[in-house]
């Protein structure tokens, strides 16, 4: 059978190809029915061992969004978006399942913490794509991990739940130019990892990102990507995260 005639395009592929982070929102409200449609689809995401190790908090209240923005570095889009969703890793139901069977989760390890974090991320990305397919756009907020305890207090997360990231959603009031991606030759490998190709992608991307920033009037550096990565990650970001998550009941040990 020849596959030449089978489709290479789909609505989903087009949605993904056109995606970019949106940080400015129209005043158009986002209905509960739309949020329900997005989340009911997203909850069909795969979940490791059928654990459902996540919970999703939908936040509309202006005061709550303002409070959440503070530990997130006062990111204005958190306040401005009509709906903000926290995607949380959640071990509470697993804890209950273990207790019902005479065990406890107190010594949970790195694998369980990762499983819950991956599960939450998959649901979050599925929600993002579902939203985009309806013309609802936004941006993920990893800054929710800046101060996990503050976030937990604001939205009432119990022990064994932490917010992996947030998602601002709304109808877009901007169409920023798409940010270029690292060359595919450095990212996608066939049959075996090609270490030379992986690293060869850096120089062209440094230059492409610089010209992207120049084209949108953003301050740039000759080696834009490596410079940004170094500025952000050489000071060991969120160095207190392991201790903060441990205090929330995730040992990551
Ligand atoms: C897990 C995750 C966390 C992110 N956190 C933030 C954030 O806190 N604030 C923000 O403005 N953008 C955040 N972003 C958006 C990225 O900066 C953005 O995806 C990246 O620069 C690429 O741009 P693009 O999405 O427009 O293609 C996050 C993205 C991801 C995947």
Tell me, what's the pLDDT at 44? 98
- What pLDDT digit, counting tens, does each position of 34-63 carry? 999 999 999 999 999 999 999 999 999 999
Complete edge-to-edge strand list for the sheet that includes strand 137-141: 54-59, 83-90, 161-170, 137-141
Tell me what pLDDT residue 154 has.
98
Query: Rounded distance, CA 43 to CA 202, Å?
Result: 36
Pocket test for ligand 1, best of 142, 177, 237 (most atoms within 8 A of CB): 142
Distance CA 78, CA 74 (A): 8
Mean pLDDT calculated for residue range 189-208: 98
Give nearest CA residue, ligand 1 atom 3. 142
The rounded Å distance from CA 233 to ligand 1 centre is 15
Instruction: Kindly report the average pLDDT of the chain as a whole number.
Output: 97
pLDDT digits (tens, 9 = 90+) for 62-100: 999 999 999 999 999 999 999 999 999 999 999 999 999
166 CA distance to ligand 1 middle (Å): 10
Whether the predicted pLDDT of 2 surpasses 90: no
84 Cβ partners below 8 Å, 6+ apart? Answer: 58, 59, 60, 65, 68, 78, 141, 166, 167, 168, 169
Hey, what domains does the chain have and what are their CATH numbers?
19-176 (3.40.109.10), 184-231 (no CATH)
The kind and range of the H/E element at 57 are: strand 54-59
1 has a pLDDT exceeding 80: no
What's the DSSP call for residue 72?
Answer: T
Residue 238 pLDDT more than 80? yes
- Residue of minimum CA distance from atom 27 in ligand 1: 20
What are 14-28's pLDDT values in tens digits? 999 999 999 999 999
CA nearest to 93, candidates 129, 50, 64, 30: 50
- pLDDT, residue 3, reads 86
Q: Provide the 10 A C-beta neighbour count for residue 134.
A: 15
118-167 pLDDT, tens digit per residue, is 999 999 999 999 999 999 999 999 999 999 999 999 999 999 999 999 99
Query: Measured between alpha carbons, how far is 168 from 139 in angstroms, rounded to an integer?
Result: 5
Q: C-alpha distances in angstroms, 170 versus 38, 78, 175?
A: 12, 11, 13
Ligand 1 pocket list (CB less than 6 A): 20-21, 23, 75, 139-143, 165, 179
By CB neighbour count within 10 A (0-12 exposed, 13-18 middle, 19+ buried), where does 207 fall? middle
From the CA of 141, how far away is ligand 1's center (Å)? 7
pLDDT of residue 49: 98
136-153 residues labelled b (16+ CB within 10 A) or e (exposed): bbbbbbebbbbbbeebbe
**Ligand 1 pocket test, candidate residues 19, 21, 121, 127, most atoms within 8 A of CB:** 21
Q: Which among 128, 141, 163 is the best mutation to test ligand 1's pocket, defined by most ligand atoms within 8 Å of the CB? A: 141
Q: How far is CA 13 from the centre of its chain?
A: 19
Name the pLDDT band for 4 (thresholds 50, 70, 90).
confident
Nearest CA-CA partner of 136 in 7, 1, 33: 33
């Amino acid at each position: 059978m020849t596959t030449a005639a089978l489709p290479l395009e789909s609505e989903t592929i087009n949605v993904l190809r056109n995606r970019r982070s949106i940080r400015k929102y129209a005043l158009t409200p986002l209905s509960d029915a739309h949020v329900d449609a997005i989340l009911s689809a997203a909850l069909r995401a795969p979940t490791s061992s059928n654990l459902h190790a996540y919970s999703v908090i939908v936040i509309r209240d202006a005061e709550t969004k303002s409070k959440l923005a503070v530990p997130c570095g006062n990111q204005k889009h958190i306040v401005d978006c009509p709906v903000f969703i926290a995607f949380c890793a959640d071990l509470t139901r697993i804890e209950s399942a273990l207790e019902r069977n005479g065990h406890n989760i107190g010594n949970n390890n790195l694998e369980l913490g990762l499983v819950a974090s991956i599960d939450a991320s998959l649901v979050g990305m599925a929600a993002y794509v579902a939203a985009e397919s309806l013309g609802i756009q936004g941006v993920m907020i990893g800054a929710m991990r800046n101060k996990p305890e503050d976030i937990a207090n604001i939205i009432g997360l119990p022990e064994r739940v932490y917010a992996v990231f947030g998602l601002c959603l709304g109808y877009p009031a901007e169409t920023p130019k798409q940010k270029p991606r690292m060359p595919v030759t450095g990212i996608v490998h066939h049959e075996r990892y090609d270490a030379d190709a992986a690293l060869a992608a850096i120089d062209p991307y440094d230059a492409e990102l610089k010209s992207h920033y120049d084209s949108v009037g953003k301050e740039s550096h000759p080696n834009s990507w490596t410079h940004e990565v170094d500025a952000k990650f050489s000071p060991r970001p969120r160095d207190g995260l392991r201790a903060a998550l441990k205090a929330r009941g995730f040992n990551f040990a």
